[in-house]
Amino acid sequence: MAHIRQGFILKIVAIIKRVEDPEIKIKIKGDGSGIETDAMKYVVNPFDEIAVEEAIRLRDTHGGELAVLCVGPKDATQQIRTGLAMGGNRGIHIVADNLLDPLTEAEAIAKVLGEEKPDLVILGKQSVDDDQGQVGVMLADKLDYSQLSFASKEESLESDSEKKKEPALKIADGRLESIREVDGGLETVSVSLPAVVTTELRLNVPRYASLPGIMQAKKKPIDTKSIDELGVGAGNIKILRMENPPTRQAGTTVPDVATLLDKLRNDAKVI
């Protein structure tokens, strides 16, 4: 396990993923081989935007550097630039044109971070395209870093700390502390640095990239590596078939409560 550098200036890597815009209606190709991409718009995974925001707040509080890393096709540089426009210092792009399984993706990232040796790696708990939520867990194992999943906070999103853009994650004496969401409510967890953190929706509200930030992002460096040169294997996902979920049947109007109960009992068989 790596050691925290003297002077405690954070080196942070925020990992983002390029995903289809959740606001766009996804259309499946006629042959079921995938989705239509001609008019597709891509954005930063919303959970990862939260991770970038928290990384910026931690960097601004403790000093240091924030790198934004993305595994994806060549045009994923657009999403890296978004993270840089929010406040990242530099970008790292692992170019992979094919779909990768979570283990291969984690291995590729671990190869790069083995050279970077960050104090903190932060990413969203899952991506909104496949909802697997596995990369963060596997990455912590590959790096032999402490792991803190589902980082959240107790205060409401309109709290004073949110308005002041203060980090919800607390770092002191080489340890990181966070409130974490569990089935029974919330718990406070403390782990030693270096660590991998995955973020929940309630951790913060991501900032919008400002116009000056967007202009500055164009000049910030992006280090590019191909998935092949990292030597982690193919690990490609093959889509056998995609299909739309069954169309929901329209509801019916009933004249009275007795008819409703009859349909619930005899047709729907739920009572």
90 contacts 220 by C-beta, under 8 angstroms: yes
Q: Centre a 10 Å sphere on the Cβ of residue 267 and count the other Cβ atoms it contains.
A: 9
Q: Please give the average per-residue pLDDT across 168-194, as a whole number.
A: 91
pTM: 0.84
- The pLDDT score that the predictor gives to residue 238 is 80
Residue bearing tokens 């050279």: 115
**Position 248 pLDDT exceeds 90:** no
110 contacts 230 by C-beta, under 8 angstroms: no
Using CA atoms, how far residue 167 sits from 1, 5, 111, 246, 261, in Å, is 25, 21, 28, 43, 53
Residue ranges per domain, the chain?
10-267
- The pLDDT score that the predictor gives to residue 156 is 58
Please name the amino acid found at residue 215.
M
Among 90-99, 168-177, 236-245, which stretch is predicted with the lowest mean pLDDT? Answer: 236-245
- The pLDDT score that the predictor gives to residue 199 is 95
- The pLDDT score that the predictor gives to residue 120 is 96
Decide: helix, strand or coil at residue 152.
Answer: strand
- 228: Cα within 13 Å, side-chain hemisphere: 3
- Four-residue CA torsion sign, 101, 103, 105, 107: negative
| Residue that wins the pLDDT comparison between 163 and 7 | 163
Residue 2 confidence class, pLDDT cut points 50, 70, 90: very low
**Position 16 pLDDT exceeds 50:** yes
- The pLDDT score that the predictor gives to residue 152 is 92
Which helix or strand (DSSP H or E) is residue 120 part of? strand 120-124
**Position 36 pLDDT exceeds 60:** yes
Q: Please give the average per-residue pLDDT across 21-44, as a whole number.
A: 85
What span, in angstroms and rounded, lies between the C-alpha atoms of 147 and 9? 20
DSSP 74: G
Q: Centre a 10 Å sphere on the Cβ of residue 134 and count the other Cβ atoms it contains.
A: 15
| Residue that wins the pLDDT comparison between 186 and 85 | 85
Decide: helix, strand or coil at residue 214.
Answer: helix
Q: 10-267 sits in which CATH class? A: alpha beta
What are the counts of helices (DSSP H) followed by strands (DSSP E) for the chain?
Answer: 7, 12
Decide: helix, strand or coil at residue 113.
Answer: helix
pLDDT digits (tens, 9 = 90+) for 183-218: 888 899 999 999 999 999 989 999 998 899 999 999
